[in-house]
Amino acid sequence: MRDKVALYREEFDEVNRLLADPETLSDHRKLAELGRRRGRLEAILRVGDRYEALLDRVSEAKEIIAAGSDAELVELARADLEEAEGELPGCEEELRLLLIPRDERDHRSAIVEIRAGTGGDEASLFAGDLFRMYTRYAELCGWKTEMMDSSPTELGGFKEVVFGVNGVDVFRRLKFESGVHRVQRVPATESSGRIHTSAASVAILPEAEEVEVELDPAELRIDVCRASGPGGQSVNTTDSAVRITHIPTGIVVRCQDEKSQHKNRAKALRILRYRLYEKKLEEEQSRVAEERRSQIGSGDRSAKIRTYNFPQGRVTDHRIGLTLHKLDAILNGDLNELVEALLLAHQEELLREKMDRK
């Protein structure tokens, strides 16, 4: 472990050298990338320094005890040895987790897509509940949200809603939300009190930078039309809605939330870039056959990842077997316990894979 810390120290020095290079200062993208890399290395070295200091304390204490020339000094050494050996396992585990390679997209902002699934009106209402849950969570995290497209229903739900979430480590904390979310409750329209099961799908797309996905105007078909749906002064009055078709892939994006056709076009291009970036990543992962052995973070939208049970006031994440009896708080944006549990399970899975490769 000490050898690995030494290698990271060398890398840290190299990053500092690059950050001081005038060529780097003129490249904003490279500067930001090196800054993030430096921050991660600093975190590793902080724990690495503590780990090495504990190893030194253990070694020195053992030498004093072995010499046995001063009884009082030996007693102090025994106490210090016990304390250092007690702290060492936790420090080593913390360092081991930090050394696990991070997803390079973790620091990015994200686009969240929520679509009503099986269950008719009840599924649309549930999609609305999920939209409020994630926007409230974003607010609690200090992130900013931006509505990009929506298809609201008369009852107050959504057939589909797409919005951006901008902030630090957004994708890292939201990426495990991708999948099918299921709700079990008695709909307001159900007179017999029978519990219905409905579902909505969630997709979390990492922010794509323009340099990663180049859009060829010749490959785009852009159509404009009048916005549709309940509410809004511009609905059915101006040709502000924009639909963009990416001809090579057949991906279609539509935006109508803004009154300005120009703004809707810009948002539609942004969503298209995200979706093409996701497709590119999926193709790369398929080529190298690096499918995850765990369902966590697999992005398999057909898998039911979580159930929200209203009669029992509980939420169950099926991937990690975690059940929390705090449904109201979770739907009000209190997602930290779920998010932290999923992050920990993901780290443990990566650690197991790392150990298996040794």
Determine the average pLDDT of the residues in 320-330: 96
Determine the average pLDDT of the residues in 148-167: 90
> 147 near 181, Cβ under 8 Å?
no
What distance in Å separates the CA atoms of residue 264 and residue 241, rounded to the nearest whole number? 7
- Same domain? 250 vs 264: yes
Domain end among 47, 82, 98: 98
Q: What CATH code is carried by the domain that includes residue 305?
A: 3.30.70.1660
Domain end among 82, 98, 114: 98
Examine the pLDDT at 248 and tell me if it is beyond 80.
yes
pLDDT band at 337 (very low <50, low <70, confident <90, very high): very high
Q: What CATH code is carried by the domain that includes residue 8?
A: 1.20.58
- Same domain? 117 vs 139: yes
Domain end among 73, 98, 123: 98
- Same domain? 32 vs 55: yes
Q: How far is CA 71 from the centre of its chain?
A: 56
Locus of tokens 């870039």 = 273
What distance in Å separates the CA atoms of residue 121 and residue 126, rounded to the nearest whole number? 9
- Same domain? 49 vs 165: no
Question: Lowest mean pLDDT: which of 68-82, 186-200, 308-322?
Answer: 186-200
Convert the pLDDT of each residue in 38-61 to its tens digit. Answer: 888 898 899 999 999 999 999 999
- Same domain? 247 vs 122: yes
- Same domain? 181 vs 84: no
What distance in Å separates the CA atoms of residue 244 and residue 226, rounded to the nearest whole number? 14
- Same domain? 238 vs 328: yes
Instruction: Give the count of domains, the chain.
Output: 2
Instruction: Determine how many CB atoms are found less than 10 A away from the CB of residue 58.
Output: 17
The per-residue pLDDT for 189 is: 65
The per-residue pLDDT for 227 is: 67
- Same domain? 201 vs 112: yes
The pTM (predicted TM-score) of the whole model is: 0.67
- Same domain? 212 vs 352: yes
The per-residue pLDDT for 216 is: 86
- Same domain? 7 vs 120: no
Determine the average pLDDT of the residues in 328-345: 94
The per-residue pLDDT for 293 is: 37
Largest CA distance in the chain: 94
Q: How far is CA 30 from CA 26, 42, 103, 148, 192, in A?
A: 9, 18, 17, 29, 62
Task: Label each residue of the chain as H, E or C.
Answer: CHHHHHHHHHHHHHHHHHHCCHHHHCCHHHHHHHHHHHHHHHHHHHHHHHHHHHHHHHHHHHHHHHHCCCHHHHHHHHHHHHHHHHHHHHHHHHHHHHCCCCCCCCCCCEEEEEEECCCHHHHHHHHHHHHHHHHHHHHHHCCEEEEEEEEECCCCCEEEEEEEEECCCHHHHHHHHCEEEEEEECCCCCCCCCCEEEEEEEEEEECCCCCCCCCCHHHEEEEEECCCCCCCCCCCCCCCEEEEEECCCCEEEEECCCCCHHHHHHHHHHHHHHHHHHHHHHHHHHHCCCCCCCCCCCCCCCCEEEEEECCCCEEEECCCCEEECCHHHHHCCCCHHHHHHHHHHHHHHHHHHHHHHC
Expressed as residue numbers, the domain containing 15 is 2-98
- Same domain? 206 vs 59: no
- Same domain? 121 vs 264: yes
